[in-house]
A = this chain, B = another copy of it.
Amino acid sequence: MAAPGRGVTIADVAARAGVAASTVSYVLSGKRSISPETAGRVMQAVADLGYHPHAGARSLASRRAGVIAMMLPLRDGMHLPVLMQFASGAVTEARRHDQDVLLMTADEGPAGLARVAASAIVDGLILMDVEVRDPRVEALRRLGLPSVLIGFPADAAGLTCVDLDFTAAGRACADYLRERGCGDIALLGASEAVYARRTGFAERVREGFLARSGPATVQPCPDDPVSVQRTVKELLAANPDLTGLAVHNEPAVGHVMHALADAGKRVGEDFHVVVIGPDEVAERVHPQLPSVLVPAETLAETAVRHLMRKLDGLDVPDSTLIEPQLTIR
């Protein structure tokens, strides 16, 4: 069970099983047929000695490191719990494919990508939180390192991208409100700043929201309390029949609730609100709101799976949109 001294090698396993080292290798990789008896003896020896192939040697000989890199925006930006869910999902899925995960921060930028690519320390890469004009994307294309991006850069040609389906998120919100019997509904969007660096994002939600029949308004909105208060008031004034609101603006959620209370609306009863954003935002208000959230784990699994396929030379769709989930609380 335990390793005896230091480093059980394939030669040790071969000796104990009474075969050549190459045979052990073939048993382990399954790349050539080996008789069941021999395979059995080899596996027994592997177990007895607690053998694990030396990762460096394997990578050198096979030109496959068995490691993928994951570059996360570890400092800021994304919602932390979502990031963790993502990381966790990625590691778990990677292990399922017998791969390990190397963690990189976005700080390393293009130079970091060049380094890991050239040193062959990883076979591929998952790049999170890709922005519209991301210098790393250019580097990636130049390096030819197999990769999957989370998010869409301006020019996604030749790249594999995965992201949340924002159009579907907008649709889901409209559907939710309509199912609650809301006739007139509105989408309170984000401030411009939030979308500055992300393409399409807001528009896609908007599109989805409006795609469903029935009267619907879309209203961008800054996220300070005063603007939110005013915007909500104006929306209600302009649409006396308004009974449903989708909020795609994380910081504004609390203020929206206040504004609605001030206007005499009882949320959950004669008025319905749904949030597009992380769980916590929707849970922290009273009453808790239903929300459409990023299925981080699914995203991660999809990204890893796509990367594995690419590494195996199989093809994958250039662009994959993950269905959002609407959680009712």
Q: A80-B84, A92-B105, A118-B8 are in contact. Are A65 and B55 (CB under 8 A)?
A: yes
Per-position contact with B for A1-22: 1 when CB-CB < 8 Å, else 0?
A: 0110001100000000000000
Candidates B7, B8, B95; contact of A108 at CB < 8 Å: B95
Cα A130 to Cα B104 in complex, Å, equals 24
Cα A90 to Cα B115 in complex, Å, equals 19
Across the interface, name the chain B residue whose C-beta is closest to A58. Answer: B56
A81 at the binding interface (Cβ < 8 Å): yes
Cα A25 to Cα B103 in complex, Å, equals 27
Q: Are B103 and A101 in contact (CB under 8 A)?
A: yes
Q: Are B55 and A119 in contact (CB under 8 A)?
A: yes
Q: Are A56 and B91 in contact (CB under 8 A)?
A: no
Q: Are B119 and A52 in contact (CB under 8 A)?
A: yes
Cα A3 to Cα B117 in complex, Å, equals 10
Across the interface, name the chain B residue whose C-beta is closest to A82. Answer: B80
A interface, size bucket: 35 or more
Q: A56-B56, A56-B58 are in contact. Are A121 and B105 (CB under 8 A)?
A: no
Q: Are B120 and A54 in contact (CB under 8 A)?
A: yes
A67-75, A164-172, A232-240, A308-316: which lies at the B interface? A67-75
A194 at the binding interface (Cβ < 8 Å): no
A87 at the binding interface (Cβ < 8 Å): yes
Q: How far in angstroms is the closest Cβ of chain B from A247?
A: 19
Q: A84-B83, A88-B75 are in contact. Are A53 and B105 (CB under 8 A)?
A: no
Across the interface, name the chain B residue whose C-beta is closest to A105. Answer: B91
Q: How far in angstroms is the closest Cβ of chain B from A132?
A: 24
Q: Are B7 and A120 in contact (CB under 8 A)?
A: yes
Q: Are A57 and B60 in contact (CB under 8 A)?
A: yes
Residues of A175-216 at the interface with B, using a CB-CB cut-off of 8 Å, are none
Q: Are A88 and B59 in contact (CB under 8 A)?
A: no
Cα A120 to Cα B7 in complex, Å, equals 9
Q: How far in angstroms is the closest Cβ of chain B from A106?
A: 10
A114 at the binding interface (Cβ < 8 Å): yes
Q: Are B53 and A56 in contact (CB under 8 A)?
A: no
Q: Are B102 and A88 in contact (CB under 8 A)?
A: no
A51 at the binding interface (Cβ < 8 Å): yes
Q: A74-B87, A88-B75, A91-B74 are in contact. Are A55 and B105 (CB under 8 A)?
A: no
Contact residues in B for A155 (Cβ distance below 8 Å):
none
Cα A168 to Cα B95 in complex, Å, equals 40
Across the interface, name the chain B residue whose C-beta is closest to A120. Answer: B54
Per-position contact with B for A238-269: 1 when CB-CB < 8 Å, else 0?
A: 00000000000000000000000000000000
Contact residues in B for A95 (Cβ distance below 8 Å):
108
Residues of A33-85 at the interface with B, using a CB-CB cut-off of 8 Å, are 50-60, 65, 67, 70, 74-75, 80-81, 83-84
Q: How far in angstroms is the closest Cβ of chain B from A86?
A: 10
Candidates B67, B81, B88, B120; contact of A105 at CB < 8 Å: B88
Q: Are B105 and A102 in contact (CB under 8 A)?
A: no
A residues engaging B (CB < 8 A)? 2-3, 7-8, 50-60, 65, 67, 70, 74-75, 80-81, 83-84, 87-88, 91-92, 95, 100-105, 107-108, 114-121, 142-143, 284
